[in-house]
A and B are shown apart, each in its own frame.
Chain A
């Protein structure tokens, strides 16, 4: 995997994760199913990469994590957006949309 592609993918994954948590707190597996459902499996994201993203975002305090008890009575780590995460999501969404607009404009022109 090339570095640029990697960085691009990493940025994309971060946005997806932040987005997944916009509706409320979820544990890692729920984030993974959400992304899989929303993308229809088009993006082949390994779950391991997803956890790397979750932990990275948590470390950058864009996410907060808490331990709770699942329905199956297991200890489970639940992530939610922080205010900073919320702002980051909005900013990234804007950038992504501008970027996507720019790209589509370029592709449509000409």
Chain B
């Protein structure tokens, strides 16, 4: 025997002790009376009668102890202690009702897990502050070009001038994303690194964990010392957290680089979505960049800028100051800078790149968060329904405790404690699910040439959000039963016998919860349906080329050390050898592939065309080898295609698309006309091709220029495009082994089949559609399970009634139909409410839908069909059980 309350118990302890003592007494009494042959009901009545007026006695006992209980000299402690007692009670009750607990936790944790997953994503993309010192005084600086990009990058020479001339910043650093083939000893892997000005780490206030950042002398001119700072993740994953790594050599694009530092944990650069794996000084661009920007021109924008505003200067002042600098430079360099101005944005607004990217992400996040909250609500309604069913079973227990004098407040507190525990349990399971699911989220990212991983971290914010949700969920499903106790006269319920009439109010409540679930499911399913149909509309768009059985394989000689001469020769041989491979119909090389992530732009001049004062003479362009149009399946409408005749030493030629032809030669034949692109070399137009989609499937037609690869500047990175005879998949390894033979040192090319490539061009669209559909399905499953539960409960309560009806001549078929009809009506009401809700929420969706009416009849009829089908399915088993009710048993138990 152990003493559980030493000297001065609290009021709660006294109450709990009285409860325990009296409950034990009554149970023992009832047990012995039942053993003596009484029915449980009679035994209970007898036991209570023997006890006398329990409430009065209990009040007397409490009064008696009032003198001895510890006074609340420490109120907080007393409250905490009381809460602890309540929780202990709750835990016991959860263990006692195992089935209920498991069902409720399962339902809730799915809802909470979905929320935690999406929130961890939203947190990483939009909320979590960037890991830099005092982000509030950091700004991003963009170059805006009149008639061109509003938030463009900056050229190297402009950057040097801005840095030198501005007075608003204590520092202005530049950086550029750079795919790098990074390797220690083993095969190099392509990762996304960054080239940065030497003061990058200083300006943003990031101190490396090991070693140092860059020194000014490491960033003087070009061809400086090849040094690198690794990110914490790279250091951990690729160099197994080697503490002595500083000073050792790694290879970037096959060039030796000395590691001078390792970034701090949690810092992956200034982009919240895409992290950098390593940083090298701008001066190493020839080694570290697999392409070569023009550092001597003001028209090749490739740098992103970040500035630290001087203390006491606002962002507005900094903006005004830079504006003046830009104007001065526009006067000094009218040719290149006449149409440029500077845009200054707080760093946090550019955490996903240009500000509109954050807005797009925010819009999608709002939709996704809304969706998962609705899923959670459906889950909560499930638990509420379970609670209602359990409440009936527990009614007796509660009534006894109440009649023994436990105050309503105490009982309500116990019920609430039980709910809180339940949601905490569900939150824990939900977080585990979310940990797993956020890994799975990475799979929804489109494959890309340079592997990109989202930085999803479970920080305190995610934890806090999850707990908050769990508590909110408690309010939704836990408060109602607790309040019911506070309101109802539980003494009455003891007198009730279990009959059909008693449960009817509750069953009404349960049906309204199901109505809500059906309605919410409809909203979710229809959103998913609309999104999927929007996606399939997008997929159905003509990309402007016919190639489907084929391969795109980037071939980037920048990841190794090759001269232009070697490079051109390798590219020529690659094309030659690929063409002869089995299964290959034709092959070609192209600088860019339509719908890819990178595009070239060109300033153009057109003979005989007078541009308007502010007209931007800039077009997208591509450089291709012979056979490109045939391989891609792009129709040449007029003139001829680029072929083997177009060599370095022949006449310079160009091809244009329909839109470009119409724009610059509206009523003349463009063939034979002269234009010039890039270095001002005149070219004559030899052909016109059909319009295509270049950056995204949803874009409207734009001008496009194609020139022969042989007549353009040397490109280290080209795409090998292959048209295969049949299935492209088996051809990939063969093509890759060709590239490996030709250039053994290069990291493996991220080759894709054309369908994979088209998928990847859809970007986040496909992932979002998968997510929305998954949540829609989850909602449907939760709602269906809930519906099934309510129907079987309702039927089980009315078994006797059905038995009587059958005895009175009702056919089993008619009973079956009656139950199904009841389910149908519930579904019907749910769908009506759901359609109304969907109408109210479509505005949120309209922004992310493409070519789909937010009330698309196909989607809605499909969703309605699904809901009615699953609704009837959920009712079928209970209905069959009802129709099997035993008429004899019905009378026997009367």
Contact = CB atoms under 8 A, between A and B. Distances in A.
A32 B60 CA distance: 19
Given A28-B21, A77-B21, A48 B56 contact: yes
A24 B583 CA distance: 97
Interface in A61-109: 66-70, 72, 74-78
Contacts of A69: 1
A35 to B, nearest CB: 12
B4 A48 contact: no
Contacts of B22: 51
B325 to A, nearest CB: 80
Nearest to A44: B50
> Among B2, B22, B24, which residue has the most Cβ atoms of chain A within 10 A?
B24
Contacts of B20: 75-77
A9 interface: no
Contacts of A47: 25, 29, 50-52
B80 interface: no
A9 to B, nearest CB: 13
A59 B56 CA distance: 19
B890 interface: no
Interface stretch (B61-69, B224-232, B337-345): B61-69
Interface in B48-86: 50-54, 56-58, 60-61, 64-65, 68
Given A28-B21, A59-B64, A77-B20, A67 B2 contact: yes
A48 B1 contact: no
B1 A52 contact: no
Nearest to A66: B1
B470 to A, nearest CB: 30
A74 B27 contact: yes
Contact of B57 (A32, A48, A76): A48
B1 A68 contact: yes
Interface residues of A, number: 25
B52 A48 contact: yes
Nearest to A33: B32
B818 interface: no
A29 B51 CA distance: 11
A47 B56 CA distance: 12
Nearest to B53: A48
A56 interface: yes
A74 B24 contact: yes
Contacts of B21: 28, 51, 76-77
A29 B24 contact: yes
Given A28-B25, A29-B29, A66-B3, A55 B52 contact: no
B397 interface: no
Given A55-B61, A67-B1, A48 B54 contact: yes
Contacts of B846: none
B17 interface: yes
Contacts of B439: none
Contacts of B52: 46-49
Nearest to A46: B52
Interface in B720-769: none
B226 to A, nearest CB: 75
Contacts, number: 72
Interface string B261-297: 0000000000000000000000000000000000000
Interface string A15-43: 00000000000011100110000000000
Contacts of A33: 32
A47 to B, nearest CB: 4
A67 B3 contact: yes
A52 B25 contact: no
A77 B183 CA distance: 73
A75 B85 CA distance: 15
Contacts of A48: 51-54, 56-58
B771 to A, nearest CB: 49
Contacts of A70: 24
Contact of A52 (B2, B17, B57): B57
B34 to A, nearest CB: 13
Nearest to B16: A75
Interface in B821-880: none
Nearest to B50: A47
B566 interface: no
B61 A52 contact: yes
Contacts of A77: 17, 20-21, 24
Contacts of A72: 28
Contacts of A66: 1, 3
B24 A76 contact: yes
Contacts of A52: 57, 60-61, 64
A46 B51 contact: yes
B54 A27 contact: no
Nearest to B32: A33
A31 to B, nearest CB: 10
Nearest to B49: A46
B4 A67 contact: yes
Interface string B424-458: 00000000000000000000000000000000000
Contacts of B5: 67
A27 B24 CA distance: 10
A32 to B, nearest CB: 7
A74 B23 CA distance: 10
A46 B20 CA distance: 19
A78 B1 contact: yes
Given A49-B57, A76-B24, A55 B65 contact: yes
B45 to A, nearest CB: 14
Interface of B: 1-5, 17, 20-22, 24-25, 27-29, 32, 50-54, 56-58, 60-61, 64-65, 68
Interface of A: 27-29, 32-33, 46-49, 51-52, 55-56, 59, 66-70, 72, 74-78
20 contacts: A28-B21, A28-B25, A32-B29, A48-B53, A48-B57, A51-B25, A51-B61, A52-B57, A52-B64, A59-B65, A59-B68, A67-B4, A68-B2, A72-B28, A75-B4, A76-B24, A77-B17, A77-B20, A77-B21, A77-B24
Given A28-B24, A48-B54, A51-B25, 5 more contacts: A27-B24, A29-B24, A29-B28, A46-B51, A52-B57
Q: Which 4 A-B pairs have the closest CB atoms?
A: A46-B52, A48-B57, A68-B1, A48-B52
